[in-house]
Structure 1
Amino acid sequence: MEISLLHIREDVNRYANIISNMINVDVGVVDKNMLRVTGTGLYKNIEGVSALGNVYKNTLETGKTHIIENPRNHELCSQCRDRENCQEKLEISTPIYCQNEIIGVLGLVCFSNEQKKKIIMNIDSYLNFTKQIAEFIGIKFFEFQEKMLQVDKERTLRAVIDNINKGVIVSDKNNKIVSINEIARKKLKIGLECIGETMSIVSQNDYLMNEEIFKLLIFEREFNVVGKLISINSFDNKKNNIFIFEDIKKINKNIAEITNNNNVITIDDIYGNSIATKNLKENILKVADTSSTVLITGESGTGKELVARSLHSHSSRSDKPFVVINCSAIPDSLLESELFGYVKGAFTGANNSGRMGKFELANTGVIFLDEIGDMPLYLQAKILRVIQEKKIERIGSNKSIDLDIKIIAATNVDLEKKIKEQKFRSDLYYRLNVIPIKLLPLRERKEDILPIVEKLINKYNRISNKYISSIDEEVIRVLSNYNWPGNIRELENVIELMFNMSGSSHILSRDFLPESILLNKGIKKTCILPVIKEDDEDLVDFEILEKRYILQALKKYGDSTDGKKAISNKMGIGLTTLYRKMKKFEID
């Protein structure tokens, strides 16, 4: 909206009457669009009508003050559209300025020779007086303009406040509520009757996701919120406070969204047809919804995090945070602050607003402590306390934070051996090992190799610009005979390499296998062979030969579980396959 002198017509009219009464002349005022604003005498009550005079127009264009002593005959009057009807004897026009911009013209008009004579005799005095009045009008216009700008700013601020997705409360210096947006009313479940009420905002000197925690008190009701308190000074020197806040439940929901990272893993993402894999899936479903701690053990690359995420996805905490921390990847000096967080000023270099630890971040959800076998002893004691008391304290704070959390730990080291070496606490081990899940290495469940390979081919077909339709039988045989010291992680690396080496081929062939696999370096070369004479009639029967092999191996390694594992390793088959063969050959 364009602001003009017509918006302050009452003020302009008052000044026009002052001039007219003091010097007994008629006054006319036009705005920058040549519209009459107000006037006296012949110009009274004609506001909004277009002025025809060419003198006013020239003053607007040039900013010059004109004294026209001979109206109709002056050169500026030669093009005036109202020249023939003009009855003026004298005309003075002076520009009205606001901030170096001409916003109108103030005109003095004499309709009698007596008036004209009086003005001319004291022309300098009357001219100065007219310019002063024009200046006063300009000042009034500036004040109105500033007021309208302030109104516009307040209207804009109100629109922003009403449309922001956080709660906003505006209060005065006495903490009385001046304004509150709809979001704030919904979050606090209060109505507009709170306007004018006194509220209390007290910082808790704590932070959540880098947002300060406050205690908000309205109508003797207490709310715990996170946000920011901003003090502002208005143009009238009044101090106001703007409190922008969010409820803690919403922050916790955001934490869950960030920590879950849309990485939803279920038992359907665990591939394999072996008995061990089927049992693993069944056990995940059985224990997923318990709050007891879970300890996942297994060699590196067997999929411990995959199992942990499956436990989370199949639990009632699936929509809550899942936070991972690798205990071996973080220096000992930083691990404690990563796990427990710290308050402002807890130590040199600490963040000014403090920081949440992984336990607090995972609250109401699941924390996965990977490679817990590498955790330093002094921290093991604190972890034990967390499990027992379900409480933590940030570094530098004596305030306890209650936890509702499920702990899943994983390791690829022998914790019982580390206990004997006094490198791991036995009490922590027993607290963690409430629900043990042991993952077999890939060499002990070779039935899983083919299904895993098929899923990996589908995966890389989806994320690469290539399409592999099949895999050679020879490749499957080589992969099945390999020992896989790196387990599933190594298998995936091999398939990815074969994809990259396949070129335009749609079949994964032996040519694309890495040399280490072809040379079968993953399998130990030493093996036991039964003593068989060349003329043995049973040589042609491979099953009899295999049975003799197993019987001779059992004599050497024994029939304990460890002995059978050693035999299956030598034969290049899984333990379950060995059991199946023993059952088939009726070996007790």
Structure 2
Amino acid sequence: MSKRRITLSELKINQSYIQQIAEVIAAVIEFEVVIIDSNLEVIAGTGKYQSEIGFVYGKECITEQIIHKGCNFVLDDEPIKHQICKDCSQKSICQLKAAILSPIMLNEKVIGTISIFAFSEAEKTQLLDNRGKLEDFLSKLAALTSSKIDVNEMNIRLSIMANQFSAVINSIVEGIIAIDHKGYITHMNKSAEKLLNITKQMSGQHINEIFPEFSVPKVLKFGQQYAEQEIRYKNKDEQCHFISTITPIQKDQQIIGLVISFRSIGEMRKLAGRIIREDRKYSLDGILGTSKAMTTLKQKMQLVAATDSTILITGESGTGKELFARAIHEESHRKNGPFVAINCGAIPENLLESELFGYEEGAFTGASRGGKPGKFELANGGTIFLDEIGDMPMHLQVKLLRVLQEVKIERIGGVKPVWIDVRIIAATNCNLEEMIEKKEFRSDLFYRLSVIPFYIPPLRERKEDLILLLHHFLDKYNLILGKQITGFTQEVQRKMLAYPWQGNVRELENAVEYAVNIATSNVIDSSFLSNRVNDYFKQNPGLTTGEAPLTLAELEKSAIEGALKKFGNTRQAKEKAAESLGMSRSTFYRKIKELGLNAKIPKAK
């Protein structure tokens, strides 16, 4: 006998119960009993076999043959004389006189054997004289053993499924409450407890203790799903509003309970704001701006988006360089491929090369097993956006130049090139030509990158777009924060136009978000502007008192007239015009009325 590495069997998992069966059999029939699993490991035993529990027999043993054949077997002679034992290496020293072996079946598969053995002539005579009864006894015990294991396995599977189901329910951000047909709570997930600020156990409580207005009989009577129903909850002094979905639980066409899922209206507003933002921003048409500079820029980008030429986007911080890069990708034939962005200035110099080009296993201490692909490989078939390209170290500029020339990369520690199909869009807020003169940037790389150069003008050079952006961000944060602010005072708009916006669109958005957060009235005045903006005008008095080249009303009127002229006068056309200006439909219609444009709207083409 020898030990070998084996996997855990069904009998091994239930070893304690199996040992009890072996001891019961031995006590009833007065023979030594051994139970062996399909790995040929002794799982349970009595007498001499109790000391052998854990040992594994060789494949030439009788048990292996019984497991293979799947039927009862009676050994009625000494092993040295029996054909079934001819290949056993232990047969010359085996003291066995006779045996009965019965397979244990589970789902039509042999998972082991129950065996009784005789080691003397008297035991042999007794065993063989009662072989029929003993065979039947062992077969029934084998069946009983397998049924017990089957039940245990089912219980284990049900327990695992219940744990998995509980984990899934508790991972959902929506609050979920299950009630029975009388309205008593049977289950509540973690999100529900958090949304309702409940710390005590609510199982067994009635749903009306949480939602007093909820009518259980009414919902049960109609037996249909209710979606987007508003429900209210009062927690101490706070009144909470939720949007809920109510789903009946049916059994045999009878409603036995309900599942109520709900989410706070405030969170849904935030989600809607994010969806609107994501839906708009990744297309050239979705980038707000009707100034001549922005219109011309978007038209040129539209033309080159279909090509694979390398693009260099320059502009100050906050002008939206990555936004334009993503829009170009979405307008290109590579739009179904990946868009991979990497900030060359945000990654330590010693890690940047491995991030860009990847590495092979064992390339350096701490390298992941199997290696790791770099950003260029991950972007294969799509676009790679190299932001802050001016911060790239000189030695990596050489390697990037080689990638541009040869259209292939080499991993760190690699010996074979990896061919890539990637469009490169680079961006920087640095003056690369000045850096070239200072020997801080390679001129050959600059000319390779700037095949198609684009400059995004700062916000202070396109003030025509500022009012549109103001209203867009106001609508956005009204939705997210649940506010109903209608606009800005004339003083605020004059300040916004005069302020230099060094952080450009990003700074403008932050300023509007701040103002909407702290506003206590339905119009934003100067008291709701950030200290940065107000302090600027304290240090520069008189900046907003002079006459502007165009009034605010004229700027808005010009933009709205241009949008109506472009899209037309139908309802759908007006919706498109509002979208192009970054306004909500209601704001757009209100502005048309305020500016007296109803009579001047051009006919649809």
TM-score normalised according to structure 2 size: 0.46
